[in-house]
A = this chain, B = another copy of it.
């Protein structure tokens, strides 16, 4: 197992997933779509019903033609067995620093020297998780956006000790299987996707708490305005287009006063504040338990629509050339 096998030779790839939760099994489904053989994937978890659980859940994440592969994945309750012969270790275990610190010290001892070590954490930076490791150059954050077998984003967040070679191999891996790795220049709380989402949520909570709109109305605003737009282009490209020939600069030249006024009296709610009873109750009443299958299918179809629009190849669903309104 040389370093080069990690990025160039899928037949030699062996991936160990630590943790069979929501993220772990979604990652398993994703890896099964690119690995030549399902036996190249091992799932490690200490839950006693691991086999039955994987058999029940993993096929639901797979396209019909690949569902039988779920039974061919290796399962184990032993970290040592999972990582002994692997080229990649991807951890999606409990969000506890003590668990992760111990895990990586163990993995460093048990896995081949060239294996890439990835943590799916959404909150504990690699620079903390690597505390008990001898070689801190190997570990970095690979933060997926749930569920990763559908949504393409991976936030790649090295610690200050992570080697450049490990970062490069990690980026190459995700690009080669057609996903969207985005390399952050440094560790930051919440990473980028989380910070953007929470910033918007704070204003959303503020507007509901002030009774300007309800939870359901606010969601409808998003779905019928920025949502479709941001599925195609992020905020900078969207506002650049919105500003006409002068772009974002011209836009803020025109409406900067309103923007600043919104910022100055924007939502200043805090976690645990008195808004929670109202907002949680409205959300429960509006949605109960949302339909995840419909969500996942919608997300797949939206991603496909954007791909088709960008490729200039009108898909069958756009044959009428207009949205019919």
Contact between A184 and B213, CB atoms less than 8 A apart: yes
The answer to whether A262 and B218 touch (CB under 8 A), given A256-B271, A305-B304, is no
Stretch of A69-77, A80-88, A278-286 on the interface side = A278-286
A10 in contact (CB, < 8 A): no
A221 within 8 A of partner (CB): yes
Q: Give the complex CA separation of A316 and B123 in angstroms.
A: 40
How many copies are assembled?
A: 2
Taking CB atoms, residues of chain B closer than 8 Å to A320 are 63
Task: List A residues 175-223 near B (Cβ within 8 Å).
Answer: 177-180, 182-186, 188-190, 192-204, 207-208, 210-213, 215-223
Q: How far is the CA of A261 from the CA of B191 in the complex (A)?
A: 11
Which of A145, A190, A217, A298 has the most CB atoms of chain B within a 10 A radius of its CB? Answer: A298
Q: Does A300 contact B (CB under 8 A)?
A: yes
Q: Which B residues are in CB contact (< 8 Å) with A231? A: 223, 227-228, 230-231, 298, 302
Query: Are A247 and B318 interface neighbours, CB within 8 A?
Result: no
Q: Is the CB of B221 within 8 A of A196?
A: yes
If the complex has contacts A249-B280, A283-B248, are A262 and B199 also in contact, measured as CB distance less than 8 A? yes
Which A positions have Cβ atoms within 8 angstroms of B? 22, 30, 33-34, 63-64, 95, 122-123, 145-146, 149-153, 155, 177-180, 182-186, 188-190, 192-204, 207-208, 210-213, 215-237, 239-242, 244-245, 247-249, 252, 254-263, 265-267, 270-272, 276, 279-280, 282-284, 286-287, 289-290, 292, 294-295, 297-306, 308-310, 312, 314-325
Apart from A195-B266, A199-B267, A257-B271, what 18 extra A-B contacts exist at CB < 8 Å? Answer: A123-B257, A150-B323, A155-B221, A178-B324, A182-B213, A190-B258, A190-B262, A204-B234, A241-B292, A247-B283, A247-B287, A252-B271, A298-B306, A301-B305, A301-B308, A301-B317, A304-B318, A316-B316
